[in-house]
Amino acid sequence: MSKDHSQLESLIGYVFTDKDFLWEALTHRSYLNENTSWSLPHNERLEFLGDAVLELAMSRYLFSAFKEYAEGQLTSLRAALVNAQMLARVAKEIKLDDFVLLSRGEAKDIGRARETILANAVESLIGAIYLDSGLESASQFVEKFIATHLQEVLEKRLWKDPKSYLQEIIQEKRGVTPNYKVLEEWGPDHKKTFRVGVFFGDELIASGDGLSKQEAEIAAAQNALAQYNR
Protein backbone atom coordinates (compact mmCIF):
# COMPACT_ATOMS: atom_id res chain seq x y z
CA MET A 1 0.00 0.00 0.00
CA SER A 2 1.60 3.23 -1.13
CA LYS A 3 -0.27 5.66 1.13
CA ASP A 4 -1.56 5.66 4.69
CA HIS A 5 -5.23 5.56 5.60
CA SER A 6 -5.40 9.23 6.54
CA GLN A 7 -4.83 10.16 2.90
CA LEU A 8 -7.77 8.02 1.82
CA GLU A 9 -9.90 9.54 4.57
CA SER A 10 -8.97 12.97 3.22
CA LEU A 11 -9.93 11.95 -0.32
CA ILE A 12 -13.36 10.69 0.69
CA GLY A 13 -14.02 13.35 3.31
CA TYR A 14 -14.71 10.87 6.09
CA VAL A 15 -12.57 10.05 9.14
CA PHE A 16 -13.12 6.67 10.75
CA THR A 17 -13.57 6.44 14.50
CA ASP A 18 -12.64 2.75 14.39
CA LYS A 19 -9.74 2.39 11.95
CA ASP A 20 -10.13 -1.40 11.91
CA PHE A 21 -13.29 -1.00 9.85
CA LEU A 22 -11.29 0.87 7.22
CA TRP A 23 -8.40 -1.59 7.19
CA GLU A 24 -10.81 -4.52 6.89
CA ALA A 25 -12.55 -2.82 3.96
CA LEU A 26 -9.20 -2.53 2.20
CA THR A 27 -8.07 -6.12 2.81
CA HIS A 28 -8.50 -8.41 -0.20
CA ARG A 29 -8.64 -12.15 0.40
CA SER A 30 -5.36 -12.69 -1.48
CA TYR A 31 -3.43 -10.44 0.93
CA LEU A 32 -4.04 -12.85 3.80
CA ASN A 33 -2.33 -15.68 1.92
CA GLU A 34 0.99 -13.83 2.05
CA ASN A 35 0.47 -12.03 5.37
CA THR A 36 -0.65 -14.67 7.84
CA SER A 37 0.02 -12.41 10.81
CA TRP A 38 -2.50 -9.79 9.58
CA SER A 39 -5.03 -9.50 12.39
CA LEU A 40 -8.10 -8.51 10.39
CA PRO A 41 -10.35 -10.59 8.11
CA HIS A 42 -10.70 -9.98 4.38
CA ASN A 43 -13.37 -7.58 3.16
CA GLU A 44 -15.99 -9.94 1.72
CA ARG A 45 -18.36 -9.70 4.68
CA LEU A 46 -18.18 -5.91 4.51
CA GLU A 47 -18.79 -6.15 0.76
CA PHE A 48 -21.98 -8.12 1.47
CA LEU A 49 -23.16 -5.49 3.93
CA GLY A 50 -22.10 -2.56 1.78
CA ASP A 51 -23.98 -3.90 -1.23
CA ALA A 52 -27.21 -3.77 0.78
CA VAL A 53 -26.46 -0.33 2.24
CA LEU A 54 -25.60 1.03 -1.23
CA GLU A 55 -28.86 -0.29 -2.66
CA LEU A 56 -30.88 1.25 0.17
CA ALA A 57 -29.07 4.60 0.05
CA MET A 58 -29.39 4.88 -3.73
CA SER A 59 -33.03 3.76 -3.65
CA ARG A 60 -33.85 6.43 -1.08
CA TYR A 61 -31.99 9.08 -3.08
CA LEU A 62 -33.76 8.23 -6.36
CA PHE A 63 -37.14 7.87 -4.63
CA SER A 64 -36.84 11.48 -3.41
CA ALA A 65 -35.29 12.90 -6.58
CA PHE A 66 -37.75 11.39 -9.08
CA LYS A 67 -41.18 11.57 -7.51
CA GLU A 68 -42.90 11.02 -10.86
CA TYR A 69 -40.95 7.87 -11.79
CA ALA A 70 -42.52 4.41 -11.56
CA GLU A 71 -40.84 1.48 -9.84
CA GLY A 72 -39.39 0.07 -13.08
CA GLN A 73 -37.78 3.39 -14.03
CA LEU A 74 -36.25 3.80 -10.59
CA THR A 75 -34.93 0.25 -10.70
CA SER A 76 -33.26 0.83 -14.07
CA LEU A 77 -31.61 4.05 -12.89
CA ARG A 78 -30.36 2.37 -9.73
CA ALA A 79 -28.93 -0.55 -11.69
CA ALA A 80 -26.97 1.83 -13.93
CA LEU A 81 -25.51 3.62 -10.91
CA VAL A 82 -24.53 0.67 -8.73
CA ASN A 83 -23.22 -1.85 -11.26
CA ALA A 84 -19.64 -3.10 -11.08
CA GLN A 85 -18.42 -0.99 -13.99
CA MET A 86 -19.66 2.23 -12.41
CA LEU A 87 -18.27 1.30 -9.00
CA ALA A 88 -14.87 0.56 -10.55
CA ARG A 89 -14.92 4.07 -12.04
CA VAL A 90 -15.77 5.52 -8.65
CA ALA A 91 -12.90 3.54 -7.11
CA LYS A 92 -10.47 5.10 -9.57
CA GLU A 93 -11.83 8.58 -8.92
CA ILE A 94 -11.12 8.25 -5.20
CA LYS A 95 -7.76 6.54 -5.93
CA LEU A 96 -8.81 3.42 -4.03
CA ASP A 97 -6.33 1.35 -6.05
CA ASP A 98 -3.52 3.00 -4.08
CA PHE A 99 -4.86 1.66 -0.80
CA VAL A 100 -6.33 -1.82 -1.33
CA LEU A 101 -4.16 -4.56 0.20
CA LEU A 102 -3.43 -7.30 -2.37
CA SER A 103 -1.09 -10.23 -2.82
CA ARG A 104 1.89 -9.60 -5.08
CA GLY A 105 0.24 -11.65 -7.80
CA GLU A 106 -3.07 -9.79 -7.67
CA ALA A 107 -1.23 -6.46 -7.55
CA LYS A 108 0.28 -7.22 -10.97
CA ASP A 109 -3.12 -7.85 -12.57
CA ILE A 110 -4.38 -4.56 -13.98
CA GLY A 111 -7.14 -5.96 -16.18
CA ARG A 112 -10.81 -6.73 -15.70
CA ALA A 113 -10.15 -8.74 -12.53
CA ARG A 114 -8.66 -5.65 -10.87
CA GLU A 115 -11.76 -3.63 -11.76
CA THR A 116 -13.90 -6.24 -10.03
CA ILE A 117 -11.70 -6.07 -6.93
CA LEU A 118 -12.00 -2.28 -6.89
CA ALA A 119 -15.77 -2.32 -7.36
CA ASN A 120 -16.09 -4.77 -4.48
CA ALA A 121 -13.82 -2.59 -2.34
CA VAL A 122 -16.15 0.38 -2.85
CA GLU A 123 -19.00 -1.71 -1.47
CA SER A 124 -16.78 -2.81 1.42
CA LEU A 125 -15.91 0.81 2.15
CA ILE A 126 -19.60 1.73 2.24
CA GLY A 127 -20.22 -1.14 4.65
CA ALA A 128 -17.34 0.03 6.83
CA ILE A 129 -18.68 3.60 6.98
CA TYR A 130 -22.12 2.24 7.88
CA LEU A 131 -20.72 0.22 10.79
CA ASP A 132 -18.54 3.10 11.92
CA SER A 133 -21.25 5.76 12.11
CA GLY A 134 -24.53 4.66 10.52
CA LEU A 135 -26.69 4.99 7.45
CA GLU A 136 -26.56 8.77 7.11
CA SER A 137 -22.77 8.84 6.80
CA ALA A 138 -22.84 5.96 4.32
CA SER A 139 -25.57 7.72 2.35
CA GLN A 140 -23.50 10.90 2.21
CA PHE A 141 -20.65 8.90 0.65
CA VAL A 142 -23.04 7.34 -1.87
CA GLU A 143 -24.51 10.70 -2.83
CA LYS A 144 -21.13 12.43 -3.04
CA PHE A 145 -19.30 9.86 -5.15
CA ILE A 146 -21.88 7.66 -6.89
CA ALA A 147 -25.12 9.63 -7.30
CA THR A 148 -23.08 12.41 -8.93
CA HIS A 149 -22.92 10.20 -12.04
CA LEU A 150 -26.69 10.44 -12.42
CA GLN A 151 -26.60 13.20 -15.03
CA GLU A 152 -24.29 11.14 -17.22
CA VAL A 153 -26.56 8.11 -16.84
CA LEU A 154 -29.53 10.19 -17.97
CA GLU A 155 -27.76 11.97 -20.83
CA LYS A 156 -26.18 8.80 -22.28
CA ARG A 157 -29.22 6.66 -21.45
CA LEU A 158 -27.00 4.24 -19.56
CA TRP A 159 -30.08 3.04 -17.70
CA LYS A 160 -31.07 1.11 -20.81
CA ASP A 161 -29.67 -2.37 -21.44
CA PRO A 162 -26.58 -1.62 -23.61
CA LYS A 163 -27.14 -4.46 -26.11
CA SER A 164 -30.81 -3.66 -26.59
CA TYR A 165 -30.15 0.07 -26.89
CA LEU A 166 -27.33 -0.47 -29.40
CA GLN A 167 -29.56 -2.71 -31.50
CA GLU A 168 -32.32 -0.09 -31.38
CA ILE A 169 -30.23 2.80 -32.64
CA ILE A 170 -28.14 0.83 -35.17
CA GLN A 171 -31.17 -0.77 -36.78
CA GLU A 172 -32.58 2.72 -37.15
CA LYS A 173 -29.35 4.35 -38.41
CA ARG A 174 -27.82 1.56 -40.49
CA GLY A 175 -30.51 -1.05 -40.97
CA VAL A 176 -28.41 -3.89 -39.52
CA THR A 177 -28.53 -5.95 -36.34
CA PRO A 178 -25.32 -6.02 -34.25
CA ASN A 179 -23.76 -9.44 -33.79
CA TYR A 180 -21.12 -10.57 -31.31
CA LYS A 181 -18.11 -12.86 -31.68
CA VAL A 182 -15.43 -13.97 -29.23
CA LEU A 183 -12.12 -12.53 -30.45
CA GLU A 184 -9.85 -13.84 -27.76
CA GLU A 185 -9.84 -15.60 -24.40
CA TRP A 186 -7.08 -16.10 -21.89
CA GLY A 187 -6.35 -17.17 -18.35
CA PRO A 188 -6.99 -20.39 -16.39
CA ASP A 189 -10.40 -22.03 -16.56
CA HIS A 190 -11.44 -20.72 -13.14
CA LYS A 191 -10.44 -17.16 -14.01
CA LYS A 192 -10.85 -16.82 -17.76
CA THR A 193 -11.19 -13.43 -19.45
CA PHE A 194 -13.03 -13.02 -22.76
CA ARG A 195 -12.68 -10.35 -25.42
CA VAL A 196 -15.77 -10.04 -27.58
CA GLY A 197 -16.21 -7.92 -30.68
CA VAL A 198 -19.46 -6.33 -31.80
CA PHE A 199 -19.92 -6.31 -35.57
CA PHE A 200 -22.26 -4.45 -37.89
CA GLY A 201 -22.35 -6.95 -40.72
CA ASP A 202 -18.69 -7.87 -41.26
CA GLU A 203 -17.38 -4.61 -39.79
CA LEU A 204 -15.80 -4.76 -36.33
CA ILE A 205 -17.02 -1.69 -34.46
CA ALA A 206 -15.78 -2.16 -30.91
CA SER A 207 -14.65 -4.79 -28.44
CA GLY A 208 -14.99 -5.37 -24.73
CA ASP A 209 -13.50 -7.59 -22.05
CA GLY A 210 -15.28 -9.51 -19.33
CA LEU A 211 -15.04 -12.44 -16.97
CA SER A 212 -17.87 -14.10 -18.94
CA LYS A 213 -18.94 -13.92 -22.57
CA GLN A 214 -22.11 -12.08 -21.57
CA GLU A 215 -20.16 -9.51 -19.57
CA ALA A 216 -17.77 -8.97 -22.49
CA GLU A 217 -20.70 -8.53 -24.90
CA ILE A 218 -22.17 -5.84 -22.66
CA ALA A 219 -18.79 -4.07 -22.47
CA ALA A 220 -18.47 -4.22 -26.27
CA ALA A 221 -21.96 -2.77 -26.68
CA GLN A 222 -21.13 0.04 -24.25
CA ASN A 223 -17.95 0.86 -26.17
CA ALA A 224 -19.87 0.88 -29.45
CA LEU A 225 -22.49 3.18 -27.92
CA ALA A 226 -19.71 5.60 -26.98
CA GLN A 227 -19.19 6.12 -30.71
CA TYR A 228 -22.86 6.41 -31.67
CA ASN A 229 -24.39 8.07 -28.63
CA ARG A 230 -22.48 11.29 -28.26
Helix axes 213-228, 162-174, angle to 10 degrees: 50
Q: Is the pLDDT of residue 215 over 80?
A: yes
71-82 pLDDT, tens digit per residue, is: 988 988 998 899
Catalytic residue (one of 24, 47, 115, 123): 123
pTM: predicted TM-score of the whole model, two decimal places: 0.76
Catalytic residue (one of 24, 47, 51, 97): 51
Average pLDDT (33-50) is: 95
121-174 pLDDT, tens digit per residue, is: 999 999 999 999 999 999 999 999 999 999 988 887 777 788 888 888 888 888
Report domain extents, the chain. 5-155, 162-228
CATH fold label, 162-228: Double Stranded RNA Binding Domain (3.30.160)
Q: Is the pLDDT of residue 2 over 50?
A: no
Amino acid in position 41: P
3-state SS, the chain, equals: CCCCHHHHHHHHCCCCCCHHHHHHHHECHHHHHHCCCCCCCCCHHHHHHHHHHHHHHHHHHHHHHCCCCCHHHHHHHHHHHHCHHHHHHHHHHCCHHHCCECCHHHHHCCCHHHHHHHHHHHHHHHHHHHHHHCHHHHHHHHHHHCHHHHHHHHHCCCCCCHHHHHHHHHHHHHCCCCEEEEEEEECCHHHCEEEEEEEECCEEEEEEEECCHHHHHHHHHHHHHHHHCC
The answer to whether 5-155 and 162-228 have equal CATH topology is no
CATH 1.10.1520.10 for domain 5-155: yes
Average pLDDT (114-123) is: 92
For the question of residue 123 being annotated catalytic, the response is yes
